[in-house]
Chain A
């Protein structure tokens, strides 16, 4: 059923794309057949290299964000005192669109991979932190008390209660924010760099008026976003089977 939906959605998108390319000037809005053929021609060359670089940046950012935010969220969620101190800071910083820090980050961390990974990790960090904190804080006192009564101290509570409770929260936060992360990566890669899909689309394709290449770059970026989304989905089914159990 699920795969049927994916196929149906893809076919509908291709159909609408084809109709639009008929209606709009085909030189600036090429048909899907042409873009797909360019995509497969270039994916084993330049486009593939840029896709790999962008993928590694997003995956690295996800790993950094999860490692930093999940434990912090768990600690804040189980300690009212710590939460009381840090919540106002998060309340202020969380809504700020992190992309505005791009110039500052470029100045401080340079134009290499570190600045891009840092920016995406920063976006994911707050998303994960808030969701994990709330998941940990929402655990019923009865649950905590009954596990404590089985002999669990703080370490065992983290291992058997807080960590498994945080896992679906982390995946939910990632699922919600992965689209934003890829979008921010696109913008970050269009400045002061010579690699990544953002650079490929803006500088190599759009700047040179190579529209089929530009669209194949968009297709690669979409593939990256979809691939991450499906991976998170699969991880959720694998790691939190109780959520999908009827």
Chain B
């Protein structure tokens, strides 16, 4: 699904983030990427989303070189990216409106996209994510969890095959955060969409990622550490298992958290 080979990327300031970075993700895999602030997690996501262009190397999605944001990739950012002047329904429909605006050009809109059911697709996801009762409200009138559900509904209404999320639940309280994590696991169990979630939270990385990649300090030349969760991952009670605690402890050690506290 995603394949980076010898990927190089530096910011205009000259700070190198990736230097010959290679990594691959198969279709249907659930990945989390964790690392300290400034390590390049979000940059990696923006590269995969087609919003940044690599300086060198290749970045393939479904075997195709990525030149621009692809219509089947959904991106959910920490600050939600909702339009403050649009209602929840209008925000959830934004991607479909944009597709309707360009028409079936294959560049902004998949050539096989059926836009005749756009309204019912939006209604379906608002209902599925339990935010249909706030569909006429503006983003500042709803809770953080509802805003994040709106952003997810907007992405899912586009029928993506790849979901990218950047610190999606970072601004939420603990309870809402756990509910949103369960929602994501439920959606993954239903649709098996490939997802890559960037987080700085160790517990969240273990809960949401069947595979976990730790990025350390840039420039990143190779995948630093990968952890694979075991078969009980994704179940409702996984948070209470000893495997979950082991993985958290392992990540903590690898990221030097314990060392920092000593």
Residues of A bordering B, CB below 8 Å: 140, 142-143, 145-153, 155-156, 159-161, 164-165, 167-168, 240, 242, 245-246
Contacts and interface: CB of A to CB of B under 8 A. Distances in A.
A151 B71 contact: yes
B154 interface: yes
Contact of A151 (B80, B98, B151): B98
16 contacts: A142-B80, A143-B81, A143-B83, A146-B75, A146-B76, A146-B151, A147-B83, A149-B73, A153-B102, A153-B108, A156-B98, A159-B101, A165-B85, A242-B138, A245-B137, A245-B140
Given A142-B77, A142-B78, A161-B83, A150 B98 contact: yes
Interface in B104-140: 108-109, 137-138, 140
B98 A152 contact: yes
Chain B contact patch, size range: 35 or more
A156 B69 CA distance: 14
Contacts of A155: 101
Contacts of B50: 149
B108 A240 contact: no
Contact of A150 (B46, B80, B137, B154): B154
B83 A145 contact: no
Interface string B71-105: 10111111111111110000000110111011000
A145 B69 CA distance: 10
Given A151-B69, A156-B101, A145 B81 contact: yes
B68 to A, nearest CB: 9
Given A143-B83, A146-B151, A164-B85, 19 more contacts: A140-B79, A143-B81, A143-B82, A145-B77, A146-B77, A147-B83, A149-B69, A149-B73, A151-B69, A151-B71, A151-B98, A151-B99, A151-B108, A155-B101, A160-B94, A164-B86, A168-B85, A245-B137, A245-B141
A155 B103 CA distance: 13
A151 B75 contact: no
Nearest to B51: A145
B141 A246 contact: yes
A164 B95 contact: no
A147 B85 contact: no
Contact of A245 (B78, B82, B83, B138): B138
B49 interface: yes
A62 B137 CA distance: 32
Contacts of B75: 145-146, 149
A97 to B, nearest CB: 34
B98 A160 contact: yes
Contact of A149 (B51, B85, B86): B51
